[in-house]
């Protein structure tokens, strides 16, 4: 027999009751995978892995076995089974190539041997006290024979929890080299997949000969089955599999052994890159190693199957590693035959960091020259910029996928470009007082002086939606502060962003630092970018509250500067001026409703109800076509009220707002603290004492008296521009300009001082005297 096929003892009831395939799962399957892709060419990009219909999951020995190599890692195995079952129930066709029979059998045989020895010893000695017993070295094939049935029973029990049936197939090299056996094997596997059964395949280690070096893996038609890596690759090609996921005990493929200090994980591996890899030793268990995995992966890739090698043992990711790979997330090493024309995002980050260090070392005047050059290019090349922007606008409008507010953010004009240029020139002036500025100087002891100076943060990642004017603003701030910058814009502004980035690099080139600012144009998912914690020092999202929240959730170990919502309030006090109130509310809501600093909730003192102030405010909002939503208290005062608000924490981003009634200024403050987002809040009153109490008590990044919320902006504050508005309570807060992109370092200058000099027996004493720092002093 070419294989031993052991179907599970109990097929799901939906299979027993009908001669056709299960309808409940397959109906969903047909909706999602009605047209399987033509096999013969692997996926070019990770994002395409979502289309994978037929998938093989290879579980290495290190994944399946415990650390002591005796027995199985049950918790790890259970999470893998859950993921495979979930994908199977989505309508995909899942197969597992598994190790573990030897380890399972070793555990079983050790137990039997120890038990047998203890019985014999007890019979011979007649005593209860037993001498130390040793377990002989167990032969692997015997262990496999003893462990196969138990391993399969375990898989069957686990998959049964998800109403998923399994079947076991044991194979050897002969089953692939004998044409009749190979056809029988293929026929069996296809039939199992048609019946919605998960085949679990393993080499028949009870009879397979020991592996010997040979010249396999030389071509599509020649591969010997000497380990489960080669088995999985051969099976993938034979069965025209879309995706092979090989799980091991390392994160993926490294350019050198992972234990070395400078080893780098390879995100995407191309067939021509073999010479750049230095392999280490094989894993603690199993007969393969990374070199065997790579050879098998390249063989499968050549046969039309996409391959990902990833870590299946990490406790934090094992529970979703398989589903993450299928969803196209950046996990492990992806093998691709299509090499992109440009650098990877990791290479871009490295280029930006290296060039950013040179940028930071430039004189402030030189960084100012770069920014002024960019400002001039914005006006000189305005026709080219506006032409690209027009193409983006036409595509966005025709798609019908974008709201009017988003399209408004996308639009550029000559006036906007002129305003941008003015803001950039302001940044250029402020850049002279940025990097290297001395904040504090202390005489620690005689001839021992300490300085605190400003330095760049490092590599910034700015992710922005729609607004292409963000690109030159943020670039100028990064240049002024000496920071490297990665930019990830939305695809809706791709043409405009490309032109603006080219102009930015042209300006940077006047001092040889054009690589300091990179535009990420690859198919990188935002979540994947947020995982580059070793390359990125700060993430700044610019866009919708949903984008900001997603980035805050996805960022692992990288601080995020920004705000998730802009729920801004205007409170009209009982002693407010009618004219000021109307002008401020109109400007706050109607000047640019899509902005994060637009008013979303209007709080009105109870005494103003049914007064001219209230009536004129309502008339103005109606004239401006603002849709009003009534808060609970406001609705209770009205016979026919507008639609009651669904949530008092809503950021409308359009010509809509909520109106609510409060009894006192303190009630307004309490409302803002409960429902606001700590962005910008305003009081309109002629009572100075009330205004000062409001300003002191409201805990928001920006608090205004008798002026529009729309002033919460870096340009209007005189910062030249902003990278965003932060509602955090550490580092930068409010509109974040140049100062918010700097951190500090401490520089201590001595003459051979040691801490021992200041001990009780030492000859020196601490002075800690402050040294005056002249304004504009630089190190």
Which of helix, strand or coil describes residue 293?
helix
pLDDT at 11 over 50: no
Mean pLDDT of 419-429: 92
State the first-to-last Cα distance of the chain, in angstroms, to the nearest integer. 81
In sequence order, what DSSP letters do the residues of 655-694 get, joined into one string?
A: SEEEEEEESSHHHHHHHHHHH--SSEEEEE-S-HHHHHHH
**Contact of 524 with 488, CB cutoff 8 Å:** yes
Which span out of 173-177, 214-218, 271-275, 354-358 was modeled with the highest average pLDDT? 354-358
Mean pLDDT of 695-705: 96
* Cα–Cα dist 456/742, whole Å: 5
pLDDT for 201-212, tens place per residue?
Answer: 988 876 766 554
* Cα–Cα dist 697/694, whole Å: 5
- 284 backbone dihedrals φ, ψ, rounded to 5°: -65, -25
What's CA 510's distance to the chain center, in Å?
A: 34
pLDDT at 3 over 60: no
Strands laid side by side in the 599-605 sheet: 627-630, 656-662, 599-605, 568-572, 680-684, 702-705
Strands 333-335 and 268-269: parallel
- What proportion of the chain, given as a percentage, has pLDDT over 70? 86
C-alpha distances in angstroms, 165 versus 13, 28, 58, 76, 598? 11, 18, 18, 20, 57
Q: What is the pLDDT of residue 502?
A: 97
| The two structure tokens encoding residue 774 | 């002249």
Which span out of 4-13, 62-71, 690-699 was modeled with the highest average pLDDT? 690-699
Q: Which sign does the torsion angle of CA 28, 34, 39, 45 carry?
A: negative
* Helices marked H in 168-227: 174-177, 179-194
* Residue 16's pLDDT band (cuts 50, 70, 90): very low
pLDDT at 268 over 80: yes
| The two structure tokens encoding residue 486 | 């990665």
For tokens 């006090």, the residue is 573
In sequence order, what DSSP letters do the residues of 139-179 get, joined into one string?
A: PHHHHHHHHHHHHHHHHHHHHHTTT-EEEEEEE-THHHHSH
Closest CA to 226 of 299, 322, 311, 323: 299
For tokens 């030249």, the residue is 720
* Residue 219's pLDDT band (cuts 50, 70, 90): very low
Strands 4-7 and 165-171: antiparallel
| The two structure tokens encoding residue 90 | 């989505």
* Cα–Cα dist 341/309, whole Å: 23
C-alpha distances in angstroms, 171 versus 84, 204, 287? 22, 5, 17
* Cα–Cα dist 263/428, whole Å: 40
Q: What is the pLDDT of residue 647?
A: 94
C-alpha distances in angstroms, 42 versus 303, 439, 612? 8, 57, 71
Strands 742-749 and 568-572: unpaired
Mean pLDDT of 562-573: 90
**Contact of 468 with 442, CB cutoff 8 Å:** no
Q: Which sign does the torsion angle of CA 729, 735, 741, 747 carry?
A: negative
| The two structure tokens encoding residue 102 | 């030897």
Which span out of 38-47, 313-322, 480-489 was modeled with the highest average pLDDT? 480-489
pLDDT for 389-411, tens place per residue?
Answer: 999 999 999 998 887 778 888 99
Strand partners, 15: none
* Cα–Cα dist 392/561, whole Å: 28
pLDDT at 29 over 50: no
**Contact of 427 with 477, CB cutoff 8 Å:** yes
Compute the mean pLDDT over every residue in the chain, rounded to the nearest whole number. Answer: 85
pLDDT for 725-766, tens place per residue?
Answer: 888 887 788 888 888 999 999 999 999 999 999 998 889 999
Burial class of residue 261, CB neighbours in 10 A (0-12, 13-18, 19+): exposed
pLDDT at 675 over 90: yes
pLDDT for 52-100, tens place per residue?
Answer: 999 999 998 888 887 766 668 888 999 999 999 999 999 999 999 988 7
* Cα–Cα dist 452/747, whole Å: 6
C-alpha distances in angstroms, 468 versus 13, 406, 489? 57, 12, 8
Mean pLDDT of 716-720: 84
* Residue 119's pLDDT band (cuts 50, 70, 90): low
What's CA 684's distance to the chain center, in Å?
A: 42
| The two structure tokens encoding residue 316 | 């934090």
| The two structure tokens encoding residue 573 | 């006090």
Q: What is the pLDDT of residue 118?
A: 64
Cβ neighbour number for residue 473 with a 10 Å cutoff = 24
* Cα–Cα dist 36/52, whole Å: 8
**Contact of 23 with 12, CB cutoff 8 Å:** no
pLDDT at 303 over 70: yes
Q: What is the pLDDT of residue 199?
A: 96
In sequence order, what DSSP letters do the residues of 372-437 get, joined into one string?
A: HHHHHHHHHTHHHHHHHHHHHHHHHHHHT-S-HHHHHHH---HHHHHHHHHHHHHHHHHGGGSTTB
* Cα–Cα dist 318/532, whole Å: 19
Mean pLDDT of 415-429: 93
Q: What is the pLDDT of residue 547?
A: 83
More confident residue, 391 or 131: 391
Which of helix, strand or coil describes residue 58?
strand
Q: What is the pLDDT of residue 217?
A: 40
**Contact of 371 with 507, CB cutoff 8 Å:** yes
What's CA 51's distance to the chain center, in Å?
A: 21
Which of helix, strand or coil describes residue 485?
strand
* Cα–Cα dist 91/164, whole Å: 12
* Cα–Cα dist 13/592, whole Å: 60
* Residue 658's pLDDT band (cuts 50, 70, 90): very high
Q: Which distant-in-sequence residues (6+ apart) come within 8 Å of 376 by Cβ?
A: 421
Closest CA to 392 of 521, 497, 518, 543: 497
Q: What is the pLDDT of residue 134?
A: 60
For tokens 């950039």, the residue is 424
What's CA 654's distance to the chain center, in Å?
A: 29
More confident residue, 217 or 144: 144
What's CA 767's distance to the chain center, in Å?
A: 48
**Contact of 426 with 720, CB cutoff 8 Å:** yes
Strand partners, 451: 441, 747
C-alpha distances in angstroms, 494 versus 448, 471, 542, 571? 54, 11, 16, 40
Q: Which distant-in-sequence residues (6+ apart) come within 8 Å of 561 by Cβ?
A: 538, 539, 540, 723, 724, 726, 728, 731, 732, 736, 740
What's CA 694's distance to the chain center, in Å?
A: 39
The pTM (predicted TM-score) of the whole model is 0.76
């Amino acid at each position: 027999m070419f294989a031993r096929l052991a179907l599970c003892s109990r097929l799901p009831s939906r299979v027993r009751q009908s001669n056709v395939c299960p309808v409940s799962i397959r109906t969903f399957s047909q909706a999602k995978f009605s047209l399987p892709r033509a096999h013969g060419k692997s996926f070019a990009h990770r994002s395409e892995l979502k289309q994978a219909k037929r998938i093989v999951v290879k579980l290495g020995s290190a994944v399946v076995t415990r650390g002591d190599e005796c027995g199985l890692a049950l918790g790890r195995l259970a999470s893998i089974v859950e993921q495979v079952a979930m994908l199977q129930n989505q309508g995909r066709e899942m197969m597992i190539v598994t190790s573990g029979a030897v380890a399972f059998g070793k555990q079983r045989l050790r137990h039997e041997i120890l038990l047998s020895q203890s019985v014999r010893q007890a019979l011979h000695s007649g005593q209860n006290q037993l001498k130390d017993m040793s377990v002989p070295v167990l032969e692997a094939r015997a262990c496999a024979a003893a462990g196969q049935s138990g391993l399969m029973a375990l898989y069957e029990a686990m998959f049964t929890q998800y109403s998923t049936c399994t079947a076991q197939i044991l194979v050897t090299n002969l089953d692939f080299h004998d044409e009749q056996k190979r056809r029988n094997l293929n026929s069996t596997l296809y039939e199992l997949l048609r019946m919605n059964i998960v085949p679990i395949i393993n080499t028949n280690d009870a009879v397979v000969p020991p592996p010997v070096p040979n010249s396999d893996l030389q071509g599509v038609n020649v591969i010997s089955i000497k380990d489960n890596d080669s088995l999985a690759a051969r099976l993938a090609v034979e069965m025209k599999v879309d995706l092979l996921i090989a799980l091991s005990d390392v994160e993926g493929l490294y350019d050198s052994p992972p234990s070395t200090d400078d080893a780098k994980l390879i995100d995407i591996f191309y067939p021509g890159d073999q010479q750049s890899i230095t392999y280490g030793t094989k894993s603690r268990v199993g007969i393969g190693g990374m070199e065997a995995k790579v050879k098998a992966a390249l063989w499968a890739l050549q046969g039309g199957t996409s391959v990902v090698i990833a870590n299946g043992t990490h406790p934090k990711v094992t529970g979703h590693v398989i589903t993450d790979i299928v969803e196209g997330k950046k996990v492990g090493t992806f093998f691709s035959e299509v090499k992109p024309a440009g650098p990877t995002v990791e290479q871009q980050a490295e280029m930006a960091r290296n060039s950013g260090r040179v940028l930071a070392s430039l004189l402030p005047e030189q960084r100012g020259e770069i920014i002024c050059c960019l400002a001039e290019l914005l006006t000189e090349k305005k026709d080219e910029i506006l032409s690209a922007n027009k193409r983006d606008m036409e595509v966005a409008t025709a798609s019908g996928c974008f709201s009017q507010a988003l399209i408004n953010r996308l639009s550029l004009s000559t006036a906007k470009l002129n305003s941008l240029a003015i803001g950039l020139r302001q940044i250029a002036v402020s850049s002279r007082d940025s990097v290297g500025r001395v904040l504090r100087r202390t005489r620690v002891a005689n001839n021992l002086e300490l300085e605190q100076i400003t330095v760049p943060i490092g590599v910034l990642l700015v992710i922005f939606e729609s607004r292409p004017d963000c690109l030159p603003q943020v670039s100028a701030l990064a240049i002024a502060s000496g920071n490297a910058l990665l930019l990830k814009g939305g695809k809706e502004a791709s043409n405009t962003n490309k032109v603006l980035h080219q102009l930015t690099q042209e300006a940077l080139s006047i001092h040889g630092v054009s690589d300091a600012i990179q535009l990420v144009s690859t198919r990188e998912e935002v979540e994947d970018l947020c995982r580059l914690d070793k390359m990125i020092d700060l993430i700044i999202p610019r866009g919708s509250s949903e984008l900001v929240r997603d980035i805050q959730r996805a960022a692992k170990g990288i601080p995020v500067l920004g705000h998730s919502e802009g729920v801004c309030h205007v409170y009209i006090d009982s002693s407010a001026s009618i004219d000021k109130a109307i002008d401020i509310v109109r400007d706050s809501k109607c000047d640019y409703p899509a902005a994060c600093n637009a008013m979303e909730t209007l709080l009105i003192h109870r005494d103003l109800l049914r007064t001219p102030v209230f009536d004129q405010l309502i008339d103005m909002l109606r004239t401006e076509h603002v849709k009003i939503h009534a808060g609970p208290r406001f609705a209770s005062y009205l016979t026919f009220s507008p639609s009651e608000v669904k949530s008092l924490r809503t950021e409308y981003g359009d010509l809509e707002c909520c109106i609510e009634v409060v009894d006192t200024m303190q009630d307004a403050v309490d409302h803002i603290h409960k429902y606001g987002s700590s962005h910008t809040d305003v009081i309109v009153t002629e009572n100075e004492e009330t205004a000062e109490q409001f300003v002191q008590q409201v805990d928001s990044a920006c608090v205004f008296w008798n002026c529009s919320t729309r002033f919460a902006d870096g340009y209007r504050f005189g910062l030249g521009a902003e990278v965003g508005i932060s509602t955090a309570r550490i580092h930068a807060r409010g509109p974040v300009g140049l100062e918010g992109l700097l951190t500090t370092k401490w520089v201590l200058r001595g003459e051979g001082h040691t801490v021992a000099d200041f001990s009780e027996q030492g000859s020196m004493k601490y002075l800690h005297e402050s040294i005056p720092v002249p304004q504009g002093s630089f190190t």
